[in-house]
Structure 1
Amino acid sequence: MTTTAPLLDARVIGLAHYAGRALLEGVLARRGATFHQNVTLRLVVTAGGTVDRDQLAADVNGSLKAGDSAVRGVIEELTAAELLEQDPAEASRIRITDAGRELYESAAAETAGISARLYAGISTEDLAVAGRVLTLITDRANAESADA
């Protein structure tokens, strides 16, 4: 831990992201899953367990900036692994299976403990400021990408 805090910049953000992501990827690897798969499962869970396939692809791509082909490949991987399936009530929708929900929830439970340790001792006020700043940076970066 440094005694003099650096100014927030792309390097500091990247180091924090990759340090946390490495921990998450370790949790996921023990379950045979990838980061991209976890992001996809999370989006289906937070959508209530079923979502339009095209909307899911757009949302995952919006989160990961991975490209439509790569994102659709992840959805197909999850479908082939029977973690997602076509919704029998509506062919354009995809839903999470019991196995997919169990994978997501078990990884989320383990990472909740890791997150609690990482954020321990950081004041609510500091977390709120960091959240506002990082959201603003994300919004600006997304706007730059849209203009490019």
Structure 2
Amino acid sequence: MTTTTPPVNGQVIGLAHYASRAVLETLLARTGTTFNQSVALRVVSDQGGAVERARLVARLTGALKIEEATARRTVDEMTARGLLAEPTAGQVSLTEHGGELYERIRTGGNEIAARIYAGIPAEDLATAGRVLALVTQRADAELAGA
């Protein structure tokens, strides 16, 4: 029996996503952080440590394809845990604890990625990145038109 390389499709992409996310989830479980919270930490950090609450909710909703209520609940949980503070109405910022947690998750995530992507040629990774960005763009356009 001859085996062939499977074509790239939603199933193959999804399996890769779920497998790598499962590895990340082991790291997140050790920190008591949900995946949604880890994404929110990255968003706030990427914005210099502070962002409008509504913008954070919109980014979570758009990136994770979750309901707005779920995104708001995620931000509320993070505020309750002391990961985010609300220095002014309508804005959230990383607390010292939130910043430290984000750095631990970022460092651990980078170590995981280094192991998973080890040995894959840079050109292949660049091509995969371009293809996946295009697939994401097209899927988002489909959702917007639905």
TM-score interval, smaller chain: over 0.9
In 2: Cα distance, 1:37 partner to 1:136 partner = 26
Q: For residues 109 and 56 of structure 2, what CA distance do their matches in structure 1 show?
A: 23
Q: CA RMSD in A?
A: 1.0
Equivalent position of 1:102 in the other structure? 100
The amino acid across from 1:47 in the alignment is: Q
Say yes or no: does 1:76 pair with 2:59.
no
Q: Distance in 1 between matches of 2:138 and 2:28?
A: 30
* Structure-1 residue corresponding to 2:90: 92
Structure 1 distance, partners of 2:48, 2:32, is 24
Deviation, structure 1 residue 5 = 2.4
The residue number in structure 2 matching 1:47 is 47
- Per the alignment, residue 10 of structure 2 pairs with 10
Letter in 2 for 1:124: A
Scaled by the length of structure 2, what TM-score is found?
Answer: 0.95
CA distance in structure 2 between the aligned counterparts of 1:4 and 1:37, rounded to whole angstroms: 39
Structure 1 letter corresponding to 2:124: D
Number of aligned residues: 144
Partner amino acid, structure 1, of 2:22:
A
SS across alignment from 1:30 = helix
Deviations 1:36-75 (A, max 9, x none): 1101111000111000110110011111011100000000
Q: Give structure 1 regions of 4+ aligned residues with deviation exceeding 2 angstroms.
A: none
Q: Partners of 2:102 and 2:6 in 1: how far apart?
A: 35
- What is the CA distance between 1:27 and its match in structure 2? 0.1
TM-score using structure 1 length = 0.94
CA distance in 2, matches of 1:6, 1:142: 24
Write the distance in 2 (CA, Å) between the matches of 1:44 and 1:4: 43
2:118 paired residue number = 120
State the alpha-carbon separation in 1 of the partners of residues 92 and 105 from structure 2.
Answer: 21
SS in 2 for 1:36: helix
Which blocks of at least 5 consecutive residues in structure 2 are unaligned? none
Structure 1 residues without counterparts, runs of 5 or longer: none
